Amino acid sequence: MLRATLKSLLARKLRLTLSTLAVVLSVMFVSGSLVLTDTLGRTFDNLFANIYTYTDVQVSAKSAVQEGGNNDTSTPFPASTVDRVAKLDGVAKATGQVFLNGAMPIGHNNKVVVNQTGQQFGGNWAGEDDLVKLAEGRGPQTDNEIVVNKGLAEAASVKVGDSMDVITRDHERAAYKIVGLMQYTGGRNSMAGESTVFFTTAKAQTAMLGAKGAFNVIEVKAASGVSNEKLRDTVKAELGDGFVVQTGKELSEENSKAIKNILKYFNYVLLGFGAVALLVGVFLILNTFSIIVAQRTQELALLRAMGAARGQVLRSVLLEALIIGFVGSVFGFLVGLGLGALGAYAFVGLADGAQVAGLGFPISAIIASFVIGIGVTTVAALMPAVKASRVAPIAAMRESAAPDRPLTKLTVSGAIVTALSAGALAWGLAGAGGGTLALVFGGVLGLLIGVALLTPVISKPLVAALGAALSWSVPGKLGRRNSSRNPRRTAITAGAVMIGIAIVTAISTIFTSLSTALGDTVAKDLQADVVVLGQQTNEVPPVVTLPELAKIEALPEAKTVAAITVDVVKINGEQAYVLSYLDPAAGAATLKATASQGRIDKLDTGEFIVDKKTAENRKLKLGDTIQVTFSKGQQKTLKLTGITNDSAIANGIVLSYADAKEGFAFADPWQVFLSLKDGSSPEQAKAAVNDILKDNPQVQAYTKDEYVKTNQQGFNVALVIVQVLLLIALAISVLGVINTLLLSVIERTRELGMLRAVGLRRGQTWLMVTTESIVITVFGTLLGLVVGVGLGAAIVTALKDVLGFGAVTLPWGLMVLYFVASVFVGGVAGLIPSVRAVRLNVLGAIAYE
Amino acid sequence: MTTTVTTGGVAARTVDVWKVYGSGEAQVIALHGVSVELERGHFTAIMGPSGSGKSTLMHTLAGLDSVNRGEIFIGDTRLTGMSDGELTNLRRTKVGFIFQQFNLLPTLTAEENILLPLSIAGRKADPAWYDTVIKTVGLADRLGHRPSQLSGGQQQRVACARALVSRPEVIFADEPTGNLDSRSGAEVLSFLRNSVREYGQTIVMVTHDPNAASYADRVIFLADGQIVDELREPTAEAVLDKLKGLDSDSLRSGFAGASAPGKAGEVA
pLDDT, position A419? 86
* DSSP run (H or E) holding A335: helix A310-349
Spatial separation of the C-alpha atoms in residues B159 and B99, rounded to whole Å: 8
From A403, A757, A761, residue closest to B64, measured CB to CB? A757
pLDDT higher at A301 or A682: A682
pLDDT higher at A663 or A409: A663
Spatial separation of the C-alpha atoms in residues A720 and A726, rounded to whole Å: 10
Measured between alpha carbons, how far is residue A678 from residues A68, A357, A522, A701, B130 in Å? 50, 61, 20, 19, 83
Q: Which residues of B touch A754 (CB under 8 A)?
A: 97, 99, 103, 105
Determine the average pLDDT of the residues in A82-104: 89
Amino acid in the structure at residue B238: A
pLDDT of A190 over the 90 cut: no
Identify the closest residue of chain A to B100 by CA–CA distance: A848
pTM score: 0.69
Interface contact B105, partner A, CB < 8 A = yes
pLDDT, position A5? 67
Q: Are strands B43-47 and A671-676 parallel, antiparallel or unpaired?
A: unpaired
Chosen for mutation from B19, B100, B107, B148 (greatest number of chain A CBs closer than 10 Å) is: B107
pLDDT higher at A802 or B94: B94
Contact residues of A toward B, CB < 8 A: 403, 474-475, 478, 481-482, 484-485, 750-751, 753-762, 764, 842-843, 846-848
Identify the closest residue of chain B to A767 by CA–CA distance: B120
Quick: pLDDT tens for A752-784.
888 888 888 888 888 888 888 888 899 889 989
pLDDT of B123 over the 90 cut: no
Q: Which residues of B touch A751 (CB under 8 A)?
A: 103, 105
For helices B127-137 and B152-164, give the axis angle rounded to 10 degrees. 150
Determine the distance in angstroms separating the CA of A463 from the nearest CA of chain B, rounded to an integer: 14
Identify the closest residue of chain A to B165 by CA–CA distance: A758
ipTM comes to 0.73
Q: Which residues of B touch A761 (CB under 8 A)?
A: 85, 88
Residue closest to A682 by CA, chosen among A506, A549, A815, A530: A530
- Sheet with A217-222, strands from edge to edge, namely A91-97, A217-222, A57-61, A243-247
Residue closest to A842 by CA, chosen among B90, B200, B119: B90
Chosen for mutation from B88, B109, B119 (greatest number of chain A CBs closer than 10 Å) is: B88
pLDDT, position A803? 61
pLDDT higher at B7 or A718: A718
Q: Do A848 and B103 touch (CB under 8 A)?
A: no
pLDDT, position A15? 65
pLDDT of A3 over the 50 cut: yes
From B65, B101, B120, residue closest to A764, measured CB to CB? B120
pLDDT, position B203? 94
Q: Is A608 helix (H, G, I), strand (E, B) or coil?
A: strand
Q: Confidence class of residue B260 from pLDDT cuts 50, 70 and 90? A: very low
Spatial separation of the C-alpha atoms in residues A336 and A257, rounded to whole Å: 24
Interface contact B99, partner A, CB < 8 A = yes
DSSP string, A514-541: HHHHHHHHHHHH---SEEEEE---SSSP
* DSSP run (H or E) holding A464: helix A436-468
pLDDT of A6 over the 50 cut: yes
Quick: pLDDT tens for B172-182.
998 898 888 88
Spatial separation of the C-alpha atoms in residues A663 and A627, rounded to whole Å: 13
Q: Which residues of A touch B59 (CB under 8 A)?
A: 843
pLDDT, position A355? 65
Determine the average pLDDT of the residues in A57-76: 66
Quick: pLDDT tens for A588-604.
888 778 888 888 888 88
From A475, A755, A843, residue closest to B64, measured CB to CB? A843
Chosen for mutation from A749, A754, A765 (greatest number of chain B CBs closer than 10 Å) is: A754
Do A383 and A410 contact (CB within 8 A), yes or no?
no
Q: Confidence class of residue A846 from pLDDT cuts 50, 70 and 90? A: low
* DSSP run (H or E) holding A469: none
pLDDT of B209 over the 60 cut: yes
Q: Which residues of B touch A759 (CB under 8 A)?
A: 88-89, 91-92, 117, 120-121
Q: Is A11 left (phi over 0), alpha (psi -120 to 50) or beta?
A: alpha
Mean pLDDT is lowest, of A102-106, A463-467, A546-550, B60-64, for A463-467
Do A179 and A139 contact (CB within 8 A), yes or no?
yes
pLDDT of A65 over the 80 cut: no
pLDDT of A387 over the 50 cut: yes
Best-predicted range by mean pLDDT among A195-209, A633-647, A697-711? A195-209
Q: Which residues of B touch A757 (CB under 8 A)?
A: 62, 64, 91, 97
Please count the other Cβ atoms lying within 10 Å of the Cβ belonging to residue A190: 25
Q: Do B92 and A764 touch (CB under 8 A)?
A: no
For helices A248-295 and A487-525, give the axis angle rounded to 10 degrees. 140
Measured between alpha carbons, how far is residue A643 from residues A268, A525, A581, A648, B101 in Å? 40, 18, 15, 15, 86
DSSP code of A112?
B
Q: Do B121 and A846 touch (CB under 8 A)?
A: no
Do A695 and A587 contact (CB within 8 A), yes or no?
no
Residue closest to A563 by CA, chosen among A594, A541, A531: A531
Quick: pLDDT tens for A520-567.
777 777 888 888 888 777 777 888 888 888 888 888 888 888 888 888
Do you know the residue count of chain A? Answer: 849
Quick: pLDDT tens for A348-366.
665 555 566 677 777 888 8
pLDDT of A151 over the 60 cut: yes
Q: Confidence class of residue A441 from pLDDT cuts 50, 70 and 90? A: confident
Mean pLDDT is lowest, of A48-52, A350-354, B142-146, for A350-354
Q: Are strands A173-184 and A132-137 parallel, antiparallel or unpaired?
A: antiparallel
- Sheet with B28-39, strands from edge to edge, namely B28-39, B10-21, B69-74, B77-78
In terms of Cβ atoms closer than 10 Å to its own Cβ (0-12, 13-18, 19+), residue A300 is buried
Mean pLDDT is lowest, of A70-79, A102-111, A325-334, A550-559, for A70-79
pLDDT, position B5? 37
Q: Do A758 and B92 touch (CB under 8 A)?
A: yes
pLDDT, position A202? 92
Q: Which residues of B touch A846 (CB under 8 A)?
A: 64, 99, 101, 103, 174
pLDDT of A720 over the 80 cut: no
pLDDT, position B2? 41
Mean pLDDT is lowest, of A830-839, B109-118, B248-257, for B248-257
Spatial separation of the C-alpha atoms in residues A491 and A460, rounded to whole Å: 9
Do A154 and A182 contact (CB within 8 A), yes or no?
no
pLDDT of A227 over the 50 cut: yes
Measured between alpha carbons, how far is residue A507 from residues A444, A779, A809 in Å? 12, 20, 12
Q: Confidence class of residue B249 from pLDDT cuts 50, 70 and 90? A: low
Mean pLDDT is lowest, of A270-274, B200-204, B206-210, for A270-274
Q: Do A759 and B85 touch (CB under 8 A)?
A: no
pLDDT of A93 over the 80 cut: yes
Determine the average pLDDT of the residues in A818-827: 89
Do A545 and A668 contact (CB within 8 A), yes or no?
yes
Q: Confidence class of residue A289 from pLDDT cuts 50, 70 and 90? A: confident
Do A89 and A233 contact (CB within 8 A), yes or no?
no
Q: Which residues of A touch B117 (CB under 8 A)?
A: 758-759
* DSSP run (H or E) holding A648: none
pLDDT, position B247? 67
- What residues are paired with A349 via a beta bridge? none
Determine the distance in angstroms separating the CA of B264 from the nearest CA of chain A, rounded to an integer: 21
Mean pLDDT, chain A, whole residue set: 81
C-alpha angle A560/A696/A707, rounded to 5°?
Answer: 50
Do A65 and A630 contact (CB within 8 A), yes or no?
yes
Q: How far from chain centre, in Å, is Cα A815?
A: 22
Mean pLDDT is lowest, of A77-81, A210-214, B1-5, B235-239, for B1-5
pLDDT, position B46? 93
Q: Do A848 and B120 touch (CB under 8 A)?
A: no
Q: Confidence class of residue A181 from pLDDT cuts 50, 70 and 90? A: very high
Spatial separation of the C-alpha atoms in residues A458 and A437, rounded to whole Å: 30
pLDDT, position A458? 81
Q: Is B115 helix (H, G, I), strand (E, B) or coil?
A: helix
Amino acid in the structure at residue A794: A
In terms of Cβ atoms closer than 10 Å to its own Cβ (0-12, 13-18, 19+), residue A105 is buried
- What residues are paired with B222 via a beta bridge? B227
At residue B259, φ and ψ (nearest 5 deg) are -80, -25
Mean pLDDT, chain B, whole residue set: 83
Determine the average pLDDT of the residues in A687-711: 84
Q: Are strands B218-223 and B43-47 parallel, antiparallel or unpaired?
A: parallel
pLDDT, position A714? 72
Do A270 and A36 contact (CB within 8 A), yes or no?
yes
**Interface contacts A/B by beta carbons within 8 Å:** 68
pLDDT, position B257? 39
Determine the distance in angstroms separating the CA of A769 from the nearest CA of chain B, rounded to an integer: 15
* DSSP run (H or E) holding B121: none
Percent of chain A's residues with pLDDT above 70? 89
pLDDT, position B72? 93
pLDDT of B171 over the 90 cut: yes
From A478, A764, A848, residue closest to B100, measured CB to CB? A848
From B96, B120, B162, residue closest to A474, measured CB to CB? B120
